[in-house]
Structure 1
Amino acid sequence: MTDEKASGTIVSGRPAAVLGSALVGILLATGTALASGSLPPEPLSAGPFANFAACRTYLETTHQQLSAMAMPKPVTNPAGGTRQVVIYTKGVSQDGSEQATYEAEVGYEFRHVDPGRRSIITNYTWERYSMSCHGAAFDGTLERGYALPGIVPAP
């Protein structure tokens, strides 16, 4: 996704997403990715908008709503382990007089300790949003994905 990810905060990054349900792993202790996958992009619809300003306002509102989901620190799950929602985005950008884009990734990290393996298992799913306004015309897609669990030695 991006080289600038910082767990639990909104950071500069590239493409986006929200509320995925597939499991996603991060990295093995060796730093190699196990595997990942994604579903085909789904079209997003919004509008119709009366003008470019209304379309851009929709992008900014979406950015605020997704950013509000970010969790600065992992939260303990009642069943054990932790969960955290992380957001990677640069926010709304405007190129030209009536063209604006918004890309964001919403990541869902779930961690738990596997005592038998003496390891921390991390599952990660993501949703990537890619939206744009060309004048009053809106275009957008949502892609969802995952990777196999990441495993690191427990301290």
Structure 2
Amino acid sequence: MTDEKSGRTIGDKRPAATLSAVLAGAFFTTGAALASGSLPPEPLSAGPFANFAACLAYLESTHREQSAMAMPEPVTNPAGGTRQIRVYTNGVSQKEGEQATYEAEVGYEFRHVDAERRSIITNYTWERYSMACHGAVFDGTLDRGYALPGTAPAP
């Protein structure tokens, strides 16, 4: 869900695949080709945790920290252009028994104007976190990737 006032995308109910489709659609409608790439997944480690409650607290803390990174509006870069951090997540989800999961995408968007081509160039990189607690046992992975620069006509 996007808060129009703040521009934060915390609590977005759409899965990360939907985000990719939206971004791809936005770039394709501008007539630009979109491609992307990613690095192999990296294991995340945390703990050891004494119990499920401690592992759950870690997931909740990670959610709070990442949510705080979201920038409601783009910020001007000293070298020109803008930057914005977007956070897409459903938060921590608890299941029956001592099971909990947390997934999030932290996206870094950089834009600048190409005056010669009269277009706005957008670069987007992302980190996708997938974490789970199974009792006191933590399991997690981090995927990193990017979309090749997209272009849109400058106003």
Tell me the TM-score normalized by structure 1.
0.85
Which residue does the alignment assign to 1:20? none
- With over 3 angstroms needed to count, the CA separation of the structure-2 counterparts of 1:65 and 1:33, relative to structure 1, is farther
Q: Which has the larger share of helix?
A: 2
Q: What amino acid does structure 2 have at the position aligned with 1:60?
A: E
Superposed structure 1 runs of 4+ greater than 2 Å apart: 4-9, 28-33
Which residue does the alignment assign to 1:14? 15
Which residue does the alignment assign to 1:89? 89
Q: What amino acid does structure 2 have at the position aligned with 1:82?
A: T
Which residue does the alignment assign to 1:40? 40
Shift of 1:74: 0.1
* Greater relative contact order (CA < 8 Å, ≥ 6 in sequence): 1
1:47-74 CA-partner distances (Å, limit 9, x unpaired): 0101111000000000001011000000
* Secondary structure of 1:133 counterpart: strand
In the alignment, the residues of structure 2 paired with residue 84 and residue 56 of structure 1 have an alpha-carbon distance, to the nearest angstrom, of: 29
- Decide whether the 8 Å contact of 1:8 with 1:84 is kept in 2: no
- With over 3 angstroms needed to count, the CA separation of the structure-2 counterparts of 1:42 and 1:94, relative to structure 1, is same
Shift of 1:147: 1.1
Shift of 1:95: 1.1
- With over 3 angstroms needed to count, the CA separation of the structure-2 counterparts of 1:29 and 1:115, relative to structure 1, is farther
Q: What amino acid does structure 2 have at the position aligned with 1:61?
A: S
Aligned residues: 144
- With over 3 angstroms needed to count, the CA separation of the structure-2 counterparts of 1:33 and 1:60, relative to structure 1, is farther
Shift of 1:29: 3.7
1:122-155 CA-partner distances (Å, limit 9, x unpaired): 0000000000000000000000000110100011
**1:117 has 2:117 as partner:** yes
Tell me the TM-score normalized by structure 2.
0.85
Q: What amino acid does structure 2 have at the position aligned with 1:113?
A: V
* Secondary structure of 1:40 counterpart: coil
**1:78 has 2:78 as partner:** yes
- Runs of 5+ unmatched residues, structure 2: 17-23
**Identity value in percent:** 74
Shift of 1:33: 5.1
In the alignment, the residues of structure 1 paired with residue 15 and residue 38 of structure 2 have an alpha-carbon distance, to the nearest angstrom, of: 17
Which residue does the alignment assign to 1:137? 137
- Decide whether the 8 Å contact of 2:52 with 2:133 is kept in 1: yes
* Secondary structure of 2:83 counterpart: strand
